[in-house]
Structure 1
Amino acid sequence: MTDIVTASMIVIGDEILSGRTKDRNIGHLADIMTAIGIDLKEVRIVADDEDAIVEAVNGLRVRYTYVFTSGGIGPTHDDITADSIARAFGVPCEYDARAYAMLEANYAARGMEYTDARKRMARMPLGAEHIVNPVSTAPGFRVENVHVMAGVPAVFQAMLDNVVPTLTTGTRLLSTAIRSPFGEGAIGTPLGEIQKAHPDTIIGSYPKYQDGRFWTELVVRARSPEALEAGRAAVQAMLDGLKAQS
Structure 2
Amino acid sequence: MTALPIFDELRIDHDGQVAILEIARPPANYFDRPLITAIADALDALAEDGTTRAAVLASEGKHFCAGANFGVTAQGVDRAAESRRLYAEGARLFKSPLPVVAAVQGSAVGGGLGLACAADFRVASTHSRFLANFSTLGFHQGFGLSVSLPRIIGAQAAALMLVGSERIDGGRALELGLADRLTEPGKERDGAIALAQELAARAPLAVHSIRETLRGDFADRVVEALDREASEQARLWQSADSREGIAASLERRAPIFTGR
Instruction: Report the structure, 1 or 2, having the larger helix content.
Output: 2
Higher strand share: 1
For the pair shown, which has the larger CA radius of gyration, 1 or 2? 1
TM more than 0.5: no
Query: TM-score, normalized by length of structure 1?
Result: 0.28
